[in-house]
Amino acid sequence: MTKPYVRLNKDDAAVLLVDHQTGLLSLVRDIDPDKFKNNVLALADIAEYFKLPTILTTSFEDGPNGPLVPELKAQFPDAPYIARPGQINAWDNEDFVAAVKATGKKQLIIAGVVTEVCVTFPVLSALEEGYEVFVIADASGTFNEMTRNAAWSRMEQAGAQLMTWFGAAGELHRDWRNDVEGLGTLFSNHIPDYRNLMTSYSMLTQGK
Amino acid sequence: MTKPYVRLNKDDAAVLLVDHQTGLLSLVRDIDPDKFKNNVLALADIAEYFKLPTILTTSFEDGPNGPLVPELKAQFPDAPYIARPGQINAWDNEDFVAAVKATGKKQLIIAGVVTEVCVTFPVLSALEEGYEVFVIADASGTFNEMTRNAAWSRMEQAGAQLMTWFGAAGELHRDWRNDVEGLGTLFSNHIPDYRNLMTSYSMLTQGK
Amino acid sequence: MTKPYVRLNKDDAAVLLVDHQTGLLSLVRDIDPDKFKNNVLALADIAEYFKLPTILTTSFEDGPNGPLVPELKAQFPDAPYIARPGQINAWDNEDFVAAVKATGKKQLIIAGVVTEVCVTFPVLSALEEGYEVFVIADASGTFNEMTRNAAWSRMEQAGAQLMTWFGAAGELHRDWRNDVEGLGTLFSNHIPDYRNLMTSYSMLTQGK
Amino acid sequence: MTKPYVRLNKDDAAVLLVDHQTGLLSLVRDIDPDKFKNNVLALADIAEYFKLPTILTTSFEDGPNGPLVPELKAQFPDAPYIARPGQINAWDNEDFVAAVKATGKKQLIIAGVVTEVCVTFPVLSALEEGYEVFVIADASGTFNEMTRNAAWSRMEQAGAQLMTWFGAAGELHRDWRNDVEGLGTLFSNHIPDYRNLMTSYSMLTQGK
Amino acid sequence: MTKPYVRLNKDDAAVLLVDHQTGLLSLVRDIDPDKFKNNVLALADIAEYFKLPTILTTSFEDGPNGPLVPELKAQFPDAPYIARPGQINAWDNEDFVAAVKATGKKQLIIAGVVTEVCVTFPVLSALEEGYEVFVIADASGTFNEMTRNAAWSRMEQAGAQLMTWFGAAGELHRDWRNDVEGLGTLFSNHIPDYRNLMTSYSMLTQGK
Amino acid sequence: MTKPYVRLNKDDAAVLLVDHQTGLLSLVRDIDPDKFKNNVLALADIAEYFKLPTILTTSFEDGPNGPLVPELKAQFPDAPYIARPGQINAWDNEDFVAAVKATGKKQLIIAGVVTEVCVTFPVLSALEEGYEVFVIADASGTFNEMTRNAAWSRMEQAGAQLMTWFGAAGELHRDWRNDVEGLGTLFSNHIPDYRNLMTSYSMLTQGK
Amino acid sequence: MTKPYVRLNKDDAAVLLVDHQTGLLSLVRDIDPDKFKNNVLALADIAEYFKLPTILTTSFEDGPNGPLVPELKAQFPDAPYIARPGQINAWDNEDFVAAVKATGKKQLIIAGVVTEVCVTFPVLSALEEGYEVFVIADASGTFNEMTRNAAWSRMEQAGAQLMTWFGAAGELHRDWRNDVEGLGTLFSNHIPDYRNLMTSYSMLTQGK
Amino acid sequence: MTKPYVRLNKDDAAVLLVDHQTGLLSLVRDIDPDKFKNNVLALADIAEYFKLPTILTTSFEDGPNGPLVPELKAQFPDAPYIARPGQINAWDNEDFVAAVKATGKKQLIIAGVVTEVCVTFPVLSALEEGYEVFVIADASGTFNEMTRNAAWSRMEQAGAQLMTWFGAAGELHRDWRNDVEGLGTLFSNHIPDYRNLMTSYSMLTQGK
């Protein structure tokens, strides 16, 4: 009767980045902008590093919501890019669902803006269809902590697993011996404390 | 064995506004007054915009609890208005339950003051009777965060879904193409950051 | 398949006050002392007002933990008073359990110091024995928020309902018409904002 | 050797509103947007209510900083409006200083975005020229509390007086008997708690 | 060139309690209501205990601001009571100033609601007239921390000393040997932690 | 249908200390360093005091992660010590799992750095294998509260019990009479408030 | 006209530790107990390390205030120890002042409990007498942040310099070359992060 | 008698970066690491952009304090670099003071780690020598807010001006027309919200 450990597996996972648009980002106030930007780019680096199929989608990018942040567009030039004409829940867009299904993956890693809408809605839809869903909570932002907490509650109740980008990286990598250099660089680029540890270490052991 | 997505549907939902009275509002200290007023009025605008049957109720409005805030009374002049003679749980009032049943809806969107009493009690009663219950957490206020958290815990355990007004609006609307202007105006009126985005956009694209 | 509303009923409930001792109270830092004192005395007034059987218990009251706060002893002179000789979980003390069973009640309202030990342990024991357990979270104190949150998690998982004293009072009273004066006085004594509302009201309607 | 009370006087004061532009407002994170919008509009209402000469100025309003929020433009259609071509410190703009001098007032009430630049710079310049300067701190916003605190420190050291809109209103009005209705309405429009008090009072004394 | 220690002296001090009215108290949100009520009553007990001349004043007590809290009226039945007909700054009311002068004291201990208006204005006026002014900051309340901080800044700049009720009590008492019992009781009534220390001590040394 | 109380039992429990390394500790920012150090050493003292089999493990201790904190190494010189060559989840290391199994215990008490990786991963693995898992949340640290909350959510969903070191000590000890001196000393060494209570008590009863 | 740097000098400074008593410590709630204990002991180590004359004093140590914490008594067995019979301001006690004068130092480093009384009062007295006064703010505790801030304001206005123990250590030491080992050990004992740095460094450079 | 505006002037200012070393950075806990790293690099970009003479200094960089963060070393390859052999106050190092004097500037912009030592000490020394000192508070870090506040108090009392990097940039630039592109890029690189504004603007006006 024990509960199975539903564990992220790099061969089973795809990444969905939902509505990280320049206008919508001004609504995000539950995470400091410097940190939030870092978290989103860290998740993007994870997707690229582990070669996870990645899907980009936006909502009304020609209007006040603004375009997708250019860094994401640049990092995934070949990713399916679904500019939704109106659907608020990305899962209501057939092209988006088709792109998800085309990945052939059963695990979905999702992040977006704002948490209770652009993340929660497709999370609930994907769970209903039987996907294993992992929310990258710190790459998802919203108006305030109350809004976030309510969104988390709803996703938890439905069976989503709440993670943050660092945990996802660790669970996907499994073993440092798979590539010390690569993961270390990723951490160094996104965790100032870790970068400092590496610099100190390197200075003492290699003199530079 | 996946969990169904119990999703707000504008054809299935009614709104219950419980005890937003001028005296009781002085007890609300878990949300800043400026923000709380905005959240309550945003929820009212949602109810009106989506033409959801709306029920108003108050507790002891002739005493220290004070009258219903006039804005709500003015916005829903034809809504059932149940001034409860004493029942603390609105669901213990037969007229209130009759009004709810008369809407013929199976989804109830509830907010009120204070969260752990005027919201939680009818939420638990409604769940017991089989309704799908959506709490608008940010249009519900109480003494402090501890009180709120305990109330949330009780409602979550019973199966209520915790939402905030922005998420409810998005889930009800489904697709911007249903009416860009209308929802945009609602957001502009209640989200200063969104209003700013719209103003900047409008200035750049229409010169005003 | 809906969930029944397990509702506090004044005929079914007993109150357990666990280890509100003068020494242990210096450990409580998750709630401000002025507020915490008020919350504990409000719960005591609820127990008295609704004539709920009440049981007092202490741990090592002759040592550094200190005596029970005198206000509680004075308010419940005839209550069973179990000075435990060593059991940390009050439920491990036979006299305590016997006193609980002697009340003949199936609902237990519990508060104490510190939350994760003196409250959580008997809560888990009582749930195991089939009681309906209601924790008065704001009359229970501990070292910090992290400690409290962990304790809440454990009690929630086991099926306890988290409440605060105001919610318990409302659920027990059911209808203001049962006694406006009595409950109003209780609220006035423990909620400064409510007292102010009542004073303003009284001045305007009775000129005093 | 006592210190004179440098007191706001409605006959001596002018209001400077600096760079409340739709783009720059997205930088403000030390005050919640709902509250900040309310504070700025309250200050505008004060300026209008006390008939204080008011000057509007913007920085680069055709670029990313965005246009002045339309509410301010609409409320002061005849106010001097200085769209600065590049000066970061409004006081470096000759037209702005000329407009200030044209008011003939010796007291300047200043608010703007962001606090440490658009407010602090002209505050320090105006103090240097001998004006009595009153900063409306809660109608001025910036990135975070640290930034704000540093700005406050600099302005305090230079002799500016830090106020908030409510205090300024009270100091300007001096005596309720000058106009109960007018100031009451202003407070009711910008302080939900005060509006509630007035509604309760009105209901009890006038039955509406 | 050292700075003299301007020290509270019970023979030189009077207490001014400004606008602690039931309606205005609903505006106070920078201090928790339980704690604030305790602080105000502690200051009142200090005034009575040290037999300091005390002056009560209110603003518009027949309107929404509400009556003075009854506890203060009851505790100082013979104190000058100035119901100001309209002056916002109590010092603009001749009767109030006359009452202050009639005390013949040079030190003024002031507290009130709200801090930046009802406290700050008379503080600045009294300083201008050469009084030594001591603000009891924790018996003075206002909308939020920003408002409080701005008010503190203004009063500090003008030379007021910021204190809290506990410090004032200690500075007035000078030596425990003047009356251990009396001051101990005052502390026990208003500091739960101190009461607990005294109860533990008493139990161990006197067995009760 | 009641839920059994899965209770820590000193005869059934082993302790797993995961990656408390000097480098990794610089990543911990959800708990203050003074407090966190105290919590970890308190847990170590609990393990030693109750003679619980204890297992130490580290990740990459020759690199930037740094060595195990020397206090732990010194306190458990004979404990199994698994310096993992690369596995991020300690449970993926066969020696670690073998060491756990060799204890013959069914209850695992786990703490480590960082919470969402070094704690959560082996917790989920151990639960899957049927162990009763107790997380010592306050001896586990991570980047920030959001990261911690997400980790807690995941562990709660899987059935782990969240505890803190003080609660674990109380549940393991069961009855003060088993050894007043020993547990009292442990508390005195790790809870300054408790130490103060004991010093005051000792002074009053033994004059020293 | 520049301001001289009044700098701590180990040959000119004495340390005054005021009322760090076991009972009074339960009143301290503006600093976490683990951290506060560490700060006080760090200051004691500084006094000992720099061989600064140190004076201990207590208030009513036979009553509820409790005895001096034993660690301080043990660390300074030969220090002047003034158990004040009643004076709240230590400077009102002739023996205390005599002990201060006997040190022959012009710089006083002061810390105590509670900040606004036991620290602030002697600070103001010592400044009046011309001493250079340095408050060790983080080894001084009080009820809450508001109380602390008011005490800081009063001490700043009178010319005291606010420091924390780490800054005092640095200013007294002047140059690491005076004794790397000694100061390093002091920091290692009281700053977990620094200890970790030293352990990592030592492991990499000395293999232990 | 007005106070002159002591204003940053790019021709008069030099930048001192003190002890931003990889080990010491692990002590910084009053600012989030992501934000702190950004602030330090923003200040470095300001120094480079405005071609301000810049001086780097470190304390014990071969020991646990660690090397200077490599980014700074790389950005200022030709800057005077004073690796202090032991002086805690950089101003006690003759080479450092000589380097400062060699710049010929009268305004010093200072930031460093930790605030109350490595920043405050040279700030006080420089003020004593008559320099105009501007502290970049958000590029200076320390243990916690209390430590920071005490350091700020000491520097304010001595006449330092507290600024943050954004304010310094604005005051140095004076007029956008001096170089829109350059300053805009600097802001875009260090303020995510500003970058988003620029991206939205650029998309709407240039379609990219």
Mutate to test the interface with C, among D196, D199, D200 (most CBs of C within 10 A): D200
Round the average pLDDT of chain G to a whole number and report it: 97
Question: For residue range C86-106, what is the model confidence (pLDDT) as tens digits?
Answer: 999 999 999 999 999 999 999
The whole-angstrom separation of Cα B36 and Cα B29 is 10
Å from B75 to nearest chain C CA?
26
Q: What is the CA radius of gyration of chain D?
A: 17
Q: Is A202 in CB contact (< 8 Å) with chain G?
A: no
Å from B124 to nearest chain D CA?
29
Q: Do A29 and D26 touch (CB under 8 A)?
A: no
Interchain contact C/B (3 or more Cβ pairs less than 8 Å) = yes
The whole-angstrom separation of Cα C149 and Cα C116 is 9
| Residue D88 buriedness (CB in 10 A; 0-12 / 13-18 / 19+) | buried
Q: Is A34 in CB contact (< 8 Å) with chain F?
A: no
Q: Do C26 and G29 touch (CB under 8 A)?
A: no
Q: Do A191 and H33 touch (CB under 8 A)?
A: yes
Whether D172 sits among the annotated catalytic residues: the reply is no
- pLDDT of chain D, 208 residues: tens digit per residue: 678 999 999 999 999 999 999 999 999 999 999 999 999 999 999 999 999 999 999 999 999 999 999 999 999 999 999 999 999 999 999 999 999 999 999 999 999 999 999 999 999 999 999 999 999 999 999 999 999 999 999 999 999 999 999 999 999 999 999 999 999 999 999 999 999 999 999 999 998 7
Q: Which residues of chain F does C87 touch, with a Cβ-Cβ cutoff of 8 Å? A: 174-176
Task: Tell me the residues of chain B between 44 and 103 that have a Cβ less than 8 Å away from chain A.
Answer: none
Place G208 in a pLDDT band, splitting at 50, 70 and 90: confident
Round the average pLDDT of chain H to a whole number and report it: 97
Of D27, D92, D124, the CB nearest to H193: D27
Q: Which residues of chain F does C64 touch, with a Cβ-Cβ cutoff of 8 Å? A: 194, 197-198, 200-201
Interchain contact E/A (3 or more Cβ pairs less than 8 Å) = no
Q: Do C196 and E38 touch (CB under 8 A)?
A: no
The whole-angstrom separation of Cα C49 and Cα F63 is 65
Q: Do C86 and F164 touch (CB under 8 A)?
A: no
Give the percent of chain B with pLDDT over 90: 97
Å from D198 to nearest chain C CA?
12
> Is the pTM of the predicted complex or chain greater than 0.95?
yes
Question: For residue range D61-111, what is the model confidence (pLDDT) as tens digits?
Answer: 999 999 999 999 999 999 999 999 999 999 999 999 999 999 999 999 999
- Which residues of A form the catalytic set? 118
- Which residues of C form the catalytic set? 118
Q: Which residues of chain G does C65 touch, with a Cβ-Cβ cutoff of 8 Å? A: none
Count interface pairs B-H at CB distance under 8 A: 9
In angstroms, how far is the first alpha carbon of chain C from the final one? 54
- Structure tokens given for F105: 């215990």
Closest residue by Cα to residue E35 from G144, C139, C32: C32
The whole-angstrom separation of Cα C34 and Cα E37 is 10
Spatial neighbors of H101 by CB under 8 A, at least 6 apart, are none
Ranges under pLDDT 50 in chain F:
none
Q: Do B63 and C167 touch (CB under 8 A)?
A: no
Q: Which structural domains are found in chain F, ordered by start?
A: 13-174 (3.40.50.850), 177-208 (no CATH)
Q: Do H26 and F29 touch (CB under 8 A)?
A: no
Asked whether the predicted pLDDT for residue B30 surpasses 70, the reply is: yes
- Which residues of B form the catalytic set? 118
pLDDT for res H170: 98
Of G26, G192, G196, the CB nearest to F193: G26
Q: Is A192 in CB contact (< 8 Å) with chain H?
A: yes
Helices (H) and strands (E) in chain F, counts: 8, 6
Residue in H90, H118, H133, H137 annotated catalytic: H118
Q: What residue of F is the nearest CA neighbor of A136?
A: F150
Q: Do A88 and B163 touch (CB under 8 A)?
A: no
Q: Do G117 and E171 touch (CB under 8 A)?
A: yes
Question: For residue range F129-144, what is the model confidence (pLDDT) as tens digits?
Answer: 999 999 999 999 999 9
Q: Is D26 in CB contact (< 8 Å) with chain A?
A: yes
Q: Is B205 in CB contact (< 8 Å) with chain H?
A: yes
Q: Do B198 and A59 touch (CB under 8 A)?
A: no
G208/B177: higher pLDDT = B177
Say if residues H42 and H168 touch (Cβ distance below 8 Å).
Answer: no
User: Averaged over E17-46, what is the pLDDT?
Assistant: 98
Question: For residue range F90-123, what is the model confidence (pLDDT) as tens digits?
Answer: 999 999 999 999 999 999 999 999 999 999 999 9
Residue in E13, E56, E82, E118 annotated catalytic: E118
- Output helix, strand, coil percentages for chain G, rounded to the nearest 5: 50, 15, 30
- Which residues of F form the catalytic set? 118
Question: For residue range G20-60, what is the model confidence (pLDDT) as tens digits?
Answer: 999 999 999 999 999 999 999 999 999 999 999 999 999 99
Enumerate neighbours of C (3 or more CB pairs within 8 A): B, D, E, F, G
Asked whether the predicted pLDDT for residue G1 surpasses 70, the reply is: no
The whole-angstrom separation of Cα E76 and Cα E63 is 23
Question: For residue range E106-147, what is the model confidence (pLDDT) as tens digits?
Answer: 999 999 999 999 999 999 999 999 999 999 999 999 999 999
Q: What residue of D is the nearest CA neighbor of B22?
A: D196
Partners of B109 in the beta sheet?
B15, B134
Question: For residue range G156-188, what is the model confidence (pLDDT) as tens digits?
Answer: 999 999 999 999 999 999 999 999 999 999 999
Å from F36 to nearest chain G CA?
9
- Per-position b or e across F170-184, b if 16+ CB within 10 A of its CB: bbbbbbbeeeeeebb
Enumerate neighbours of H (3 or more CB pairs within 8 A): A, B, D, F, G
Say if residues G44 and G71 touch (Cβ distance below 8 Å).
Answer: yes
Asked whether the predicted pLDDT for residue H1 surpasses 90, the reply is: no
Q: Do F137 and C150 touch (CB under 8 A)?
A: yes
Mutate to test the interface with D, among E93, E147, E148, E161 (most CBs of D within 10 A): E147
Asked whether the predicted pLDDT for residue H208 surpasses 80, the reply is: no
Give Cα separations from H41 to A101, A194, H71, H190 (angstroms).
Answer: 43, 17, 8, 8
Q: Is the ipTM beyond the 0.90 threshold?
A: yes
Question: Per-residue DSSP letters for chain B?
Answer: -PPP-----TTTEEEEEE--BTTGGGG--SS-HHHHHHHHHHHHHHHHHTT--EEEEEESTTSTT-PBPHHHHHH-TTS-EEEESSBSSGGGSHHHHHHHHHHT-SEEEEEEBSIIIIIHHHHHHHHHTT-EEEEEGGG-B-S-HHHHHHHHHHHHHHTPEEE-HHHHHHHHH-BGGG-HHHHHHHHHHH-HHHHHHHHHHHHHHH--
Asked whether the predicted pLDDT for residue G97 surpasses 70, the reply is: yes
Question: For residue range E165-204, what is the model confidence (pLDDT) as tens digits?
Answer: 999 999 999 999 999 999 999 999 999 999 999 999 999 9
Please provide residue H78's backbone torsions phi and psi, each rounded to the nearest 5 degrees.
Answer: -105, 5
Question: Per-residue DSSP letters for C48-66?
Answer: HHTT--EEEEEESTTSTT-
pLDDT for res E1: 61
pLDDT for res G21: 98
Asked whether the predicted pLDDT for residue G125 surpasses 90, the reply is: yes
Q: Which residues of chain D does E153 touch, with a Cβ-Cβ cutoff of 8 Å? A: 152, 156, 161-162
Q: Is C4 in CB contact (< 8 Å) with chain F?
A: no
Question: For residue range B72-101, what is the model confidence (pLDDT) as tens digits?
Answer: 999 999 999 999 999 999 999 999 999 999
CA torsion through residues A160, A165, A169, A170, sign? negative
pLDDT for res D40: 98
Asked whether the predicted pLDDT for residue B186 surpasses 90, the reply is: yes
The whole-angstrom separation of Cα F38 and Cα D45 is 54
pLDDT for res C1: 61
- pLDDT of chain C, 208 residues: tens digit per residue: 678 999 999 999 999 999 999 999 999 999 999 999 999 999 999 999 999 999 999 999 999 999 999 999 999 999 999 999 999 999 999 999 999 999 999 999 999 999 999 999 999 999 999 999 999 999 999 999 999 999 999 999 999 999 999 999 999 999 999 999 999 999 999 999 999 999 999 999 998 7
Spatial neighbors of C98 by CB under 8 A, at least 6 apart, are none
- Structure tokens given for H48: 């480079």
- Which residue, chain included where needed, has tokens 């060494």? F189
Of H86, H92, H146, the CB nearest to G137: H146
Mutate to test the interface with E, among D163, D165, D172 (most CBs of E within 10 A): D163
Closest residue by Cα to residue A110 from A32, A66, A162: A162
